[in-house]
Structure 1
Amino acid sequence: MIGIIGAGAFGGALAIALGAKQPVSLWGRGMSGREIARLPGAVLPQTVQVVGLDVVSRADTLLLALPAQAMGQFLAEHWRVLDGKALVACCKGVDVLSGFGPTGVIAQHCPRARAAILTGPSFASDIAKGLPTALTLACADKAEGEALQQRLSTDVLRLYRTSDVTGAEFGGALKNVIAIAAGVVMGAGLGESARAALMTRGFAEMQRLALHLGARAETLAGLSGFGDLVLTCTSAQSRNYRYGLALGAGTGFDPAQTVEGVATAKAVATLSQHKQVDMPITQMVAALTQQKITLEAAIHALMSRPLKQE
């Protein structure tokens, strides 16, 4: 049986999609009924059992559909019942405390676990509706990756496999930062041309850091990098993009909404400085979201950078 820890929008959508193929157990903090609060109108199929944490943790394969910044604390509290299992991270971010991506956080707390990450261009509402979606499953162990690919693929959820875990998880994390910046551009009324330029230069930043950390260029050009970047920088369904829109327009944003790119920008700004990797857009997003710089100053700083060859 597949177990899913976390019954937010993405965890609930995965439960619905995977429940069409096999039995699934689902645990979410405070969840008791069969409706997913973050997915209005979505109801779990009968193949999905809503259970306690003690029951879901018995599954050999567990999908961790938790916010990136909450995963470390959760694993620190429950590692005894999780270590040694196949743990698939279903989040996108860089941990502020450790500077690790999701699989690095898993390895830190559960060193015997078979760690993997499921990432790529997807909205939970699309998956819950059964709309065709393609994702990347990254696992360093080839045999484990192949087994997970077979176990987690469905008629409408197509998984592509890679062993480049670094490229997959940093592609997914970094695109959230660029999505915030793209939202800022549109919210501030700077136009479509500016957004296209921002996405292009943002993708260059994503590649610079990921390749420096050992990722492969083709991974960043795939679903978990470029594909996810296009989706989140152009759709209002993206919370990171909507947050950027509000920031650029000077309007409020619902604080209850998880915006993974905010913490990731802070973590990556520190990481890129330590690694001496030039990431001006990420640095500006980190400064903006921490209210260390005004929008006008951020735009001026980016536009006044020295001219150079592309």
Structure 2
Amino acid sequence: MIRNIKAIIPGIATSDGAGVKLHRSLGGQQQVRLDPFLMLDEFSSNDPNDYVAGFPAHPHRGFETVTYMLEGHMLHEDHLGNQGHLKTGGVQWMTAGRGIIHSEMPQQARGAMRGFQLWINLPAKEKMKPAGYQDIQAEEIPKTSLANGGSVKVIAGSYEDRDKRVAGPIQGITTTPVFLDVHLPPNTEFEYCIAKELNAFVYIYEGGLEIGDPMRAVPKQAAIVLGDGDLFKAKAGAEGAQFIVLAALPLHEPIVQYGPFVMNTRAEIEQAIDDYQNNRFVVS
């Protein structure tokens, strides 16, 4: 069964951190989420005034953040003493768990800064697990060539094509996330089997794309939520297409969010605020 378009969530121009300009689709409005995905930001600018102030130290609890850098260089530092350089083509997969205070600061004064940050919810039983993160360099992310001249980078989950299975570096997470970056030449087609139990969406960041059966054109800078089914079908437009495919197992749990804290009850949010304000948050 082909997954057709269920909803289109346009990206809203906003800013975060110390004034970094971005477009926020999922999470741009209250309750506009796709379980277990909480938020998706795209940042993209050649103007350093749009990004140079970065994201100074701030806390998180109860979810995971995924930063995928298309272009640029960010430095991650956190209260646990971790430090990591996120460069063009690389990914940072951070589990905030019971609490982390970190910063993400640009290491460039000019040029392009472009990429995505995704928030993925943690199940209730894992929200207070120890914090941790993985820095994945570009060369550690497998890329497979398609018969039509396109390519697929596999960040999380796996991709199967022509009797070949390619697994990404992120595995073993409860929500079994899939994260693909797909590049298609002009007027070529793409198919990908997505397990029917997963929620899924697509985000086009270059070119044009049609999705479903019958094919329907979709906009850039928007989360294209896919409906029920087990097969994703798409066709690139005359300029080709570059897009990310995201899918994961829904948690079906209550969500209470207060800024950078995402828990299951109001009492847990109040505890997170109290822990942070009284320096109990930073216990490693």
- The structure with the greater share of residues assigned to helix is 1
- The structure with the greater share of residues assigned to strand is 2
Between the two structures, name the one with larger relative contact order (CA 8 Å, sep ≥ 6).
Answer: 2
